[in-house]
Amino acid sequence: MKPLLALVAATTLTATSDAGTWIVDDDGGPGVDFLNVADAVAAASPGDRIFVHPGSYSGSVGSDKGLTILGLGPGVNLVGVYLWHDIPLNQELRVVDVSCFRFSLFDCEGPVLFDGFTSSYSRFNLTGCRDVRAQGCTFSRCPVSVTDSRLELVDCEITGDDGSYGSFVSDGGPGGHALHVYSGGVVSLNASTLRGGTGGDTPSTQSYGGDGGDGAHVDAGGELTITGTSADIIFGGTAGQGPQQGDDGRGGDGVRNDGFLRASGASIVGGISPDYGDGVPVSGGGVFEAPVPADPFLKLQGEVRAGQQVDIEVRGEPGSVVRLLVGRAPILAPYPASSDLRLTQPVRSFWIGNVPASGQVVHSVVLPQTLTPGTRFVLQAKLTTPLGDRLTNSAPLLAR
């Protein structure tokens, strides 16, 4: 175990001293600047940090500012509608350890990072956004839709919403797709789980149960790349049921692909239907690639806090030489002689091992005691193989 990030933090990645800090607590008290998040966002300047104590915060927000919104413990609930739009290229929005009823992004040139974010029984929509990244996030019955945007998901869980209950004159509603990639959407899904919504049941023999939703649905012009292990599963949704045999819906597909799909490592399974027909792992007429060896990926485990240990897990082709790239900002740039993207501008790189026969390297680091909440690194791994270099997804490391 090596404290390699201590060197980086001490020399190049310290937080900027001119960023303002605002404290939000619905209980008030000494040192509290605002009782609700909406007022803090309105008062903040681009680059400021908003630290939010546990509580339930009403009020909707519309903003174009690059800010850090960081929850100071479990139970930070934003119950309004949050809409960010037109974040300029030189600003960055970071949303950490909060739960939000509804969050949408439109026409953002600047990067947007979510870490430890949760949303339930709602929608998470991206339209016209250049670079959005989510790590360790949970979208429960909260379908994610991506249009003309790039989204990277790492160690996330998404379930589609369930179909409505049927009646004597109407079928059960279809389950929602967990992830819908519309035209122009480009999604990188890494070490994550998707589950299509369950079709609605029906009480009548005169109607049918709803079909299950797809784990992922890729429209023409959309792109989805999947990495992971067999424990990372993309499920089609379970079919809705009727009162007797023959009344059930169809199970959802693992992935419905009418665009471009590249998948390796992860499991893809169709949804279950008791008697009408299970969904299939992959359907549709789009391009489907299943690379061998599997594409590499990176994920983090552990609490990102001063003095705590974080485990960096890299999966890749056995025999590959792995270097960890540590950068100060998210970027999108081509990598020579590769279809992979550079996702961070590295200021340091460290050899962390060669991939053994298991295909997994785990490197542990202790974060420096001087690390302050809101500080952000961006990590990416480079694997050197006999056929050339490969780059993994990125992993934002946002300090609590």
251-264 confidence digits (pLDDT tens): 999 999 999 999 99
Topology of the domain comprising 298-398: S-adenosyl-L-methionine-dependent methyltransferases (2.20.130)
Q: What does the pLDDT average to over 331-340?
A: 91
- Predicted confidence at residue 10, as pLDDT, reads 46
> 15 pLDDT exceeds 70?
no
CA distances from 139 to 45, 159, 330 (A): 29, 6, 23
> For the chain, which residues make up each domain, given as ranges?
143-295, 298-398
User: What confidence score (pLDDT) does residue 169 get?
Assistant: 86
Residue at token pair 């649905």: 217
Which has the higher per-residue pLDDT, 119 or 15? 119
Q: How many helices (H) and strands (E) does the chain have?
A: 2, 34
**Residue 242 above 60 pLDDT?**
yes
CA distances from 309 to 10, 154, 312 (A): 17, 19, 10
Mean of pLDDT values over 177-206: 97
Per-residue pLDDT, averaged over 314-336, amounts to 96
Single-letter code of the amino acid located at 143:
P
Q: What is the pLDDT of residue 4?
A: 56
Torsion sign, CA atoms 9, 13, 19, 24: negative
* pLDDT tier for residue 11 given thresholds of 50, 70 and 90: very low
Q: What is the average pLDDT value for the chain, to the nearest integer? A: 94
105 alpha-carbon distance from chain centroid: 14
pLDDT digits 0-9 by tens, 56-81: 999 999 999 999 999 999 999 999 99
Quote the pLDDT of residue 8.
55
CA distance 30 to 343: 41
- Structure confidence at residue 245 (pLDDT): 78
pLDDT at 5: 53
pLDDT score recorded for residue 352: 96
114: pLDDT strictly greater than 60: yes
Locate 304 and state its tokens: 């990102």
Amino acid, res. 343:
L
Percent of the chain residues topping a pLDDT of 70: 96
